[in-house]
Amino acid sequence: MRKPMIIAGIATAAVLVAGGGAAVTAANAEPTPSATTSDAPGDHGAAKAPKVLSSQAEKTALEQFPSGWVTSAELETEHGRRTWQIEMKGGDGGEREFAVDAETGSLVTGNADDDRRDDASRHDAEDDD
């Protein structure tokens, strides 16, 4: 009677361990560029994989904002140019966005979006009224 229960317990544990390992692997996997879609006009097929991976684009953005960390990275097509849109947050509360060319890896744009500065600007504007 005990032997079937032990075997059932071991089988259940094996299934749980295998499922947990698959979940960890999926969580750490780099998104496949071929899964992204292009919003270019007339492009009805699957998008060609970019030459620059998101991890490379994130590294480029981190070089510009070393005290920050990446909060999102999305592959987008605007005006026929594919870029990685990298959003970052810093310890000072500021947020920054960078666009990295998905074919060359070069920085296209970068800007700071400091919420504290925006609040101060709004207060100054209200004082002028």
pLDDT in tens, 81-128: 999 999 999 988 899 999 999 999 999 987 766 544 444 444 444 455
SS3 75: strand
How far does CA 105 lie from the centroid of its chain? 16
Strands in 95-101's sheet, in edge-to-edge order, are: 68-78, 81-90, 95-101, 107-113
Residue 97 backbone phi and psi in degrees, to 5: -125, 140
The predicted pLDDT at position 117 comes to 42
Rounded alpha-carbon distances, angstroms, from residue 37 to 43, 70, 92: 9, 22, 34
Could you give the CA distance from residue 62 to residue 73 in angstroms, rounded to a whole number? 12
The predicted pLDDT at position 84 comes to 97
Q: Which tokens in the block code for residue 83?
A: 């870029």
CATH 3.30.230.10 at 46-129, yes or no: no
Q: Which tokens in the block code for residue 38?
A: 């292009």
The predicted pLDDT at position 19 comes to 60
Domain ranges of the chain: 1-30, 46-129
| Strand partners for 86 | 73, 98
Query: What is the average per-residue pLDDT within 4-18?
Result: 64
Total-model pTM: 0.52
- Average pLDDT score over the chain: 73
